[in-house]
């Protein structure tokens, strides 16, 4: 089975459409949370993912937008965008977000937004953050999102750990590792200095993972955000990929 693995769409319909077109040959789309928050098209993004039968889990912004997660730790820009998003969401889409599970398990991989220790909020940025998730994994691979930075942290067959940032076109066999935690980066708000949408393709037949980047129409989403009076900082960062 060929899976398209996406995360952190954040209401960015321009990026989502380009990514789904690039994933046209994927048999299943799996979305690792944060469908909404920051961007100007929360309903359209949720609707699109529902229409194509994507298998989705919740992120912290999805739960914050439905009032199920305290936004005390959100910065002022994220908070403003969440309040705007909450007011936009249709009742049906809000219900859909509320009902999303926190994790999903597949044949040879599992998915979570943040970490298996704390699915919604914990960031895995280095090996010490990753160890509790490695210990909780029930599959050899765990795909994550949340930091919007694509990387792989892996436990080698000899018991040592390896970490690397992933860039466009990077490919590797997950079978070469004992366990791997793979962050596929962000579709709708990349933060690794590359403004192109980030996503992954996983072929469970030959165990090959590839990281992909796609350019999208940033100027159009920026115009929509301005019209919606969303914070300027959130508008600017899309062009920088930070």
By CB under 5 A, name the binding residues for Zn ion: 8, 34
Shortest reach from residue 147's CB to Zn ion, in Å: 8
By the 8 A CB rule, do 147 and 123 touch? yes
Q: Tell me the HSE value of 164 on the side-chain side, using a 13 A CA sphere.
A: 10
Q: Which is nearer to Zn ion, 17 or 121 (CB)?
A: 121
**Secondary structure (3-state) at 59:** coil
Q: Which is nearer to Zn ion, 111 or 174 (CB)?
A: 111
Q: Which is nearer to Zn ion, 34 or 122 (CB)?
A: 34
Shortest reach from residue 8's CB to Zn ion, in Å: 4
- Of all residues in this chain, which one has the CB nearest to Zn ion in the complex? 34
**Secondary structure (3-state) at 10:** coil
Shortest reach from residue 5's CB to Zn ion, in Å: 15
Q: Of the candidates 239, 201, 198, which has an alpha carbon nearest to the alpha carbon of residue 220?
A: 239
Q: Which is nearer to Zn ion, 81 or 94 (CB)?
A: 81
Burial class (CB in 10 A: 0-12, 13-18, 19+), 168: middle
Shortest reach from residue 204's CB to Zn ion, in Å: 25
By the 8 A CB rule, do 97 and 63 touch? yes
Return the ∠ at Cα 17 (arms to 188 and 12), rounded to 5°.
30
Q: Give the pair of three-digit tokens for residue 103.
A: 């994790």
Q: Give the pair of three-digit tokens for residue 118.
A: 């704390």
Shortest reach from residue 176's CB to Zn ion, in Å: 29
Q: Which is nearer to Zn ion, 113 or 155 (CB)?
A: 113
């Amino acid at each position: 089975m060929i899976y398209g693995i996406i995360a952190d769409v954040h209401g960015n319909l321009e990026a989502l459409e380009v990514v789904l077109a690039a994933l046209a040959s994927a048999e299943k789309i799996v979305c690792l949370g944060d469908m909404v928050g920051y961007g100007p098209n929360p309903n359209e993004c949720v609707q699109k993912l529902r229409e194509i039968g994507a298998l989705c889990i919740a992120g912290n912004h999805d739960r914050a937008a439905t009032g199920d997660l305290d936004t005390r730790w959100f910065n002022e820009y994220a908070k403003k965008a969440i309040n705007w998003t909450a007011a936009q969401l249709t009742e049906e889409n809000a219900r859909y977000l509320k009902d999303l599970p926190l994790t999903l398990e597949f044949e040879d991989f599992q998915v979570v937004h943040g970490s298996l220790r704390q699915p919604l909020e914990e960031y895995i940025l280095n090996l010490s953050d990753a160890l509790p998730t490695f210990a909780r994994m029930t599959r050899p691979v765990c795909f994550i999102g949340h930091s919007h930075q694509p990387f792989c942290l892996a436990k080698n067959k000899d018991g040592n750990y390896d970490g690397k940032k992933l860039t466009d076109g990077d490919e590797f066999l997950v079978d070469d590792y004992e366990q791997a935690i793979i962050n596929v980066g962000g579709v709708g708000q990349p933060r690794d200095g590359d403004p192109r949408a980030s996503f992954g393709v996983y072929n469970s037949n030959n165990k090959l993972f590839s990281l992909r980047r796609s350019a999208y129409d940033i100027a159009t989403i920026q115009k929509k955000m301005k019209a919606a009076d969303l914070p300027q900082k959130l508008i600017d960062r899309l062009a920088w990929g930070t």
